[in-house]
Structure 1
Amino acid sequence: MSGRDLHGFITNCRTEDLEKLTLRMKDGLGSSKYKPAEYEKLHAIVDAKRLQSAHIAQKVKRTLRAAKETKESSLLRQHRQVWSRENIKLANAGEKAEAELQGFLRPNGLGSRTDKGILSELLDHELLLESELEAFRCATVEPIWQLRDDLQYRLTEVQHQQHHQPPQLADWEKVLHQVNFVKDQQDAINEKLHTEYLAIEEDILSLGVEESSTKTADCLVQVDQVPEEVLYLDCPYPGLTASLIQEFQSLSEKYQSRLQSVQDRLQGLDRFCGWSADDHLRFQMTVSQYPHDLHNHRALYMDMLQRLFPHRSRQELINHKLSWDWQRFTQTQLRVVAQSWQRDRADLLFKVLVTLEEARQAYQEELALHTDRQHQQEICSRLSDKTLGLVPSWASGNVIRSREAVFDWH
């Protein structure tokens, strides 16, 4: 046996190890350190933990539901505030428009017989519209109110008769038949109104009113070259006129390129930003109700847009808002460039008119000076002629030389 084997064979035994080994031999395969598992108690603990977690989950759900309801009520409250302000603003605008219309339609505001005839026709048309509105109300609204009153009366009778005898099926069938008849009638009326609405919309589009208003709103500016005041203005110096015309042409060329680029970019954009006309108009009206000075205005109008357009995603609404913002920015840029051109053109025209006035004054002064010189020369010539007739012949040469010297000096 080598030294290495001897070292592996010899073991170090302590008293504690002997005691543990003795206990191990006495207990056999079992061990006193490990107790048998109590599965029933463990199941009870697991069930208690599971029940506690279920209670916590229900509490979290109730908290989330309460938070959602609180948020919803807060949003609705803010929406009501916006709607109330918008309602007041629209009511004031309606009253103002009505007052202006009544002021225009007063007999004192119309002077000629033609105007009074137009006023009479408008009043007759107003009476006709009122009679048609009353007939429409009697044919559409009154049946609904009558049906409502009838149903309330029948419901009251049924509640009183439930204790004595049950209602018969035939009575309910009559009520349902009447309700369905009114519903079909209202559907037919709505369909007729929608058809008339589409016809009126086509008539308005055929007149081209919307296109002309759109062109006016887009502020399409035509940059002219030179104003007529400069072209047909009398200027004594042709070179000055040419230089002033060149200044106007340079200014027009400078703004023409800028305006053309902005107009091309604006005409390349879709008028309704990829949506239908009705949806785009509803989008515009909704966003305009929430001004920038309103707290949390972006979240409010996005919430309202999601309610109005449930079939569109939030990203679609954001993209449409960005497209509309870009369109408005382009229109504003076009308007700013047009205003800058008009301002610079007005300033240049004012300077040109001042310059032309100064040039005319300078020309008048030069013309007056030239006239004075001619007058002086004529006086000198007459005086010299008289002098030649009075002096002797030997002095005439000196007089002539003096006159020539005077003329040369002038």
Structure 2
Amino acid sequence: KPVDYKHLYQLAAQAKMASAQIQLKIKKTEQISKISKEQMLLKQHRQVWWQEHKRLTETRCCVTFLGVLESFMFHPEQKLSKERDTYQTNTLVPVWQLKEDLKFQLAEMQRSLSKESLGKPSINSIEVLQQVAFPCQFKFIERVNVVQSGVLSSISSPQALVNSSEEKNGVFLAIPPELLCLECPYPELKALVISEYQELSSGVWARLQEVDQQLEALSSDWKEEDQWVFQTVINQYPSDLQRRRTLYLDMLQRYLPHKSRHELVAQEKAQAAVHSIRSQRRALLLSWAQQSRAFVLRAVAAAAEASAAHEAQVLLADSRQKQLQICAELKAKVWSHYFPALFPSISQQFPAFPHALFPSISQQLPTIPNIPQYFPTFPSNFPAFSQQFPAFPSVVSQRFPCPGRVQFRRALLEQRLLQKKELELLQARQEQEKEKRLEALRQQVAIVARVDPARAVADTVASRARMGIGANEELELQQPLFKLHTYSEEQVISDPRLRVELALREAGLHKTPYAREVLSKLPPPKLPRRDMESTAFKL
């Protein structure tokens, strides 16, 4: 068959034209979507920046009003210039004139002294100064001082805030005055507190230096103006705004056309990292302030406790020393008064015996009645005393204690030991009886389990019930609650319509028009009543 190239060329041209039309439609659609997207972005930008425009307009109106009011009411520059000129005219110009006059008069006086005799009357400088008038001098000086104090206060207040916000090395490494002025009786404790504070401050300062190094590493090479524009545009869009990132990136591309999107995204990430690190730095400074304050409070509390404990120890030592002194004085009194009655032979042989033992006690002591007789122990200076009285041990050894009293105390001690042993035996017997009763109770309630290995490895009742093992099968089928009066199985099977339908299903023809036509023409075994006759196939 010959090929009709003209017809093929026409078909190709038609296809190219259709393709060009489709491409044109696609370009128009893209352009329309781009324009609509641009308009939507501009609308959202307008909604966001309208708030800023409104705020700036109000601020501009307020500033203009204040400027007009200031120029109308105060005129500070003109007023200060006028006051300065008046001050120079009234105060400085007379002083300069006086200075020139004094120089001229001094030169004239030197020339006259060189020519004439010394009898010429001299010029009194005090009288000359009194003759010069300074109009309004003190009033202007007072006003200048007032203005100067006001300007200095206005300048120093923000400077103080700036200085307070700056962190320096001394803020962390310097020791607080509370710790330096800490009143503690133990110098070791104070030195330990100061060393611990220095360690804590050095650790915080090292961490702060690391954070500052991270901030320096994240510093951008952008111009200061570009960074200001970037931060201002981002801050203009609230954080709860939908599509916030898309909006401020689009606006940044408009304000910073010389920056690519990749650079803007990198700067955004860097700003986020800087913000996070600054938050960490702020949190670190806050925690350091809290830690230092808590440390100072703990140190002050510890110093107060140490001072209280030291005072208590001092008071206890003083009271103990007083008690020992009182006891020594009482012993000396008793010894000096009752020693001659107890040991007449020793007192006759050694008349200076009590005073040699207690030299601090005076010999003239008042009598102390109703003091029991006892033999006191020798003091710590007994070796020196034995050197002074070498025959004293042999004399004391001749006096024996009372045998009846010793025997009575020995019998009393044996009786106490016997009672203690009987009490221990009674407690041991009670413990044994208690243990026997408990053992009998344990035997009564004990559980006796026989050894059955088969039962140990066999299935439990619950597992058999869960698996259905050994369940009794129901012999009787479940009967319904009531009997149904309907067709029997034989009646249903004897219906010719059912037989024909089963045959059609076996042949696969039950969905064909032939099956519908055949089934519609088959009558039932028993014709229904007229009111029960179906009209479904008659429509």
Same fold (TM over 0.5): yes
> Scaled by the length of structure 1, what TM-score is found?
0.56
Query: Using a 3 Å threshold, how does the CA distance of structure 1 residues 267 and 123 change in structure 2: closer, same or farther?
Result: farther
1:220 Cα deviation (Å)? 5.5
Query: Using a 3 Å threshold, how does the CA distance of structure 1 residues 75 and 50 change in structure 2: closer, same or farther?
Result: same
- SS of 1:37 mapped into structure 2: coil
1:342 Cα deviation (Å)? 2.0
CA contact (8 A) 1:219 1:334 kept: no
CA contact (8 A) 2:193 2:299 kept: yes
1:307 Cα deviation (Å)? 0.7
Is residue 47 of structure 2 the alignment partner of residue 81 of structure 1?
Answer: yes
CA contact (8 A) 1:218 1:331 kept: no
Task: For 1:250-399, list aligned pairs within 5 A.
Answer: 250-270=199-219, 273-384=220-331, 386-387=333-334, 390-391=337-338, 393-395=340-342
Query: Using a 3 Å threshold, how does the CA distance of structure 1 residues 332 and 239 change in structure 2: closer, same or farther?
Result: same
CA contact (8 A) 2:175 2:194 kept: yes
Is residue 15 of structure 2 the alignment partner of residue 40 of structure 1?
Answer: no
CA contact (8 A) 1:225 1:248 kept: no
In structure 2, the residue matched to 1:228 is: 177
Q: How many percent of aligned residue pairs carry the same amino acid?
A: 31
> Scaled by the length of structure 2, what TM-score is found?
0.43
Task: For 1:160-175, list aligned pairs within 5 A.
Answer: none
Q: Which one is further off, 218-227 or 258-267? A: 218-227
Task: Give CA-to-partner distance per residue, 1:83-124, whole Å, 9 cap, x none.
Answer: 1344456678x59x98xx99xxxxxxxxxxxxxxxx999952
Rounded Cα–Cα distance in structure 2 between residues aligned with 1:226 and 1:330: 27
Rounded Cα–Cα distance in structure 2 between residues aligned with 1:215 and 1:279: 28
1:358 Cα deviation (Å)? 1.0
Rounded Cα–Cα distance in structure 2 between residues aligned with 1:362 and 1:351: 16
Task: For 1:196-215, list aligned pairs within 5 A.
Answer: none
Task: Give CA-to-partner distance per residue, 1:207-262, whole Å, 9 cap, x none.
Answer: 9xx99999987855641253221122111122222222222122122222212222
Rounded Cα–Cα distance in structure 1 between residues aligned with 2:255 and 2:270: 19
1:278 Cα deviation (Å)? 1.5
- SS of 2:175 mapped into structure 1: coil
Query: Using a 3 Å threshold, how does the CA distance of structure 1 residues 220 and 390 change in structure 2: closer, same or farther?
Result: closer
Task: Give CA-to-partner distance per residue, 1:39-96, whole Å, 9 cap, x none.
Answer: 332222222222212221121112111111111111112112221344456678x59x
CA contact (8 A) 1:384 1:403 kept: no
Rounded Cα–Cα distance in structure 2 between residues aligned with 1:347 and 1:213: 25
Query: Using a 3 Å threshold, how does the CA distance of structure 1 residues 41 and 268 change in structure 2: closer, same or farther?
Result: closer
Task: Give CA-to-partner distance per residue, 1:166-222, whole Å, 9 cap, x none.
Answer: xxxxxxxxxxxxxxxxxxxxxxxxxxxxxxxxxxxxxxxxx9xx9999998785564
1:354 Cα deviation (Å)? 1.3
Rounded Cα–Cα distance in structure 2 between residues aligned with 1:223 and 1:314: 42
Task: For 1:43-192, list aligned pairs within 5 A.
Answer: 43-87=9-53, 94=59, 123-125=73-75
Bigger-Rg structure (1/2): 2
Q: Which one is further off, 396-405 or 300-309? A: 396-405
Aligned length: 269
1:299 Cα deviation (Å)? 0.9
CA contact (8 A) 1:235 1:359 kept: yes
CA contact (8 A) 1:259 1:334 kept: yes
Query: Using a 3 Å threshold, how does the CA distance of structure 1 residues 399 and 251 change in structure 2: closer, same or farther?
Result: farther
Query: Using a 3 Å threshold, how does the CA distance of structure 1 residues 315 and 290 change in structure 2: closer, same or farther?
Result: same
Query: Using a 3 Å threshold, how does the CA distance of structure 1 residues 37 and 68 change in structure 2: closer, same or farther?
Result: same
Rounded Cα–Cα distance in structure 1 between residues aligned with 2:293 and 2:196: 13
CA contact (8 A) 1:220 1:263 kept: no
Rounded Cα–Cα distance in structure 2 between residues aligned with 1:126 and 1:282: 35
Rounded Cα–Cα distance in structure 2 between residues aligned with 1:49 and 1:382: 137
Query: Using a 3 Å threshold, how does the CA distance of structure 1 residues 214 and 372 change in structure 2: closer, same or farther?
Result: closer
Query: Using a 3 Å threshold, how does the CA distance of structure 1 residues 333 and 91 change in structure 2: closer, same or farther?
Result: farther
Q: Which has the higher contact order (CA 8 A, sep 6+)?
A: 1
In structure 1, the residue matched to 2:418 is: none
2:254 partner letter = R
Instruction: Give unpaired runs (5+ residues) of structure 2.
Output: 79-154, 343-353, 358-372, 381-539
Instruction: Give unpaired runs (5+ residues) of structure 1.
Output: 1-33, 103-118, 129-206, 406-410
Query: Using a 3 Å threshold, how does the CA distance of structure 1 residues 87 and 69 change in structure 2: closer, same or farther?
Result: same
Q: Which one is further off, 219-228 or 352-361? A: 219-228
- SS of 1:274 mapped into structure 2: coil
1:56 partner letter = I
